[in-house]
Amino acid sequence: MSRRETYLQNIRQAYPNLRIESVEFNDKGQNNDVLIVNRELVFRFPRYAHALEQLRVETAILTGVRETVPLAIPNPTFVDLEARAVGEAFVGYRMIAGEPLWRGTFRAIGEEGTLDRLADRLGGFLHALHGVPYQTAIDCELPIADTVEECRDIYTRMREKLFGYMRPDAREWVAAHFETFLGDPRNFQYQPVLKHGDFGPTNILFDAQAQRIAGIIDFGNSGLGDPAYDFAGLLSGYGEPFVKMCGRAYPEVESFLDRIRFYRGTFALIEALFGVENGDEEAFRSGIEQYV
């Protein structure tokens, strides 16, 4: 039996009253196979043990913050995770209508009032998310990132595995970027918050007809960390003037702009590091190209 048929069997067994009229199967994801059922329901099946644990954490986060955040997020409606193995466990939810707010789509928005509304909505969303009392709202232990130990480890691995591919001036820039950041203990004195972890164009859904944010998806990298990290995704996608506009709804942004810039400067390098450590040639090439 194919994985697709096995997954369908698991859904029917857990939810016998769900009428399934059409199925689209996508096995191209890094950690999960995806079934789109009836063109409106998303079912995710983890392929690995670590992805299963990650999906459990993500489901707990989505359930815990759904009533707090001011934009639509996935609502786990079909859940079969407990005591289930890889290939059997799944989570399903209704799709949020909209398309990713790509950089080109964003740049084509010429109306200043629309940009103001987008900034207020995204800044307001992050302000609410980062303010979630996760100790009581989330019913699981959350991973923590953006620590000084993690930053040092990433820098060490980059020196060992990426520097040999880089131009001399690129190596100097990366060294200065990390060592300046690591050398200032104030960069690690923030209060950890519940962060999205991948808050960029791919996961910000836009309703082009209504010119509004339709929702936020993909909380697979969510956990505790530096609030500046989420704004680095906005900086990468839409530029610093827009990040500063978000400060109307999130006034603290101005105080950690330097950290936002630092994280933005690591994104391509982290992609290249992932590629070289996991044999993903496309990720490696995409991440390293500006440094060679």
Q: Where in the chain is the domain with CATH 3.90.1200.10?
A: 99-291
The answer to whether the beta carbons of residues 81 and 91 sit under 8 Å apart is yes
* pLDDT on residue 27: 86
Question: Could you list the pLDDT tens digit for every one of the 292 residues in the chain?
Answer: 799 999 999 999 999 999 999 999 998 877 899 999 999 999 999 999 999 999 999 999 999 999 999 999 999 999 999 877 888 999 999 999 999 999 999 999 989 999 999 999 999 999 999 999 999 999 999 999 999 999 999 999 999 999 999 999 999 999 999 999 999 999 999 999 999 999 999 999 999 999 999 999 999 999 999 999 999 999 999 999 999 999 999 999 999 999 999 999 999 999 999 999 989 999 999 999 999 9
pTM of the model: 0.94
CA distance 271 to 63: 29
* pLDDT on residue 28: 81
* pLDDT on residue 236: 97
Select the CATH number that applies to the domain covering 99-291 from these four: 3.40.50.150, 3.30.230.70, 1.10.3210.10, 3.90.1200.10: 3.90.1200.10
220 closest CA partner among 73, 95, 77: 73
The answer to whether the beta carbons of residues 96 and 150 sit under 8 Å apart is no
At 257, the amino acid letter reads L
Q: What is the CA radius of gyration of the chain?
A: 20
Q: Where in the chain is the domain with CATH 3.30.200.20?
A: 3-94
* pLDDT on residue 110: 84
The answer to whether the beta carbons of residues 75 and 94 sit under 8 Å apart is yes
Supply 242's token pair: 């827009």
Return all residues near 239 (Cβ < 8 A) that are at least 6 apart: none
Specify the CATH superfamily of domain 3-94: Phosphorylase Kinase; domain 1 (3.30.200.20)
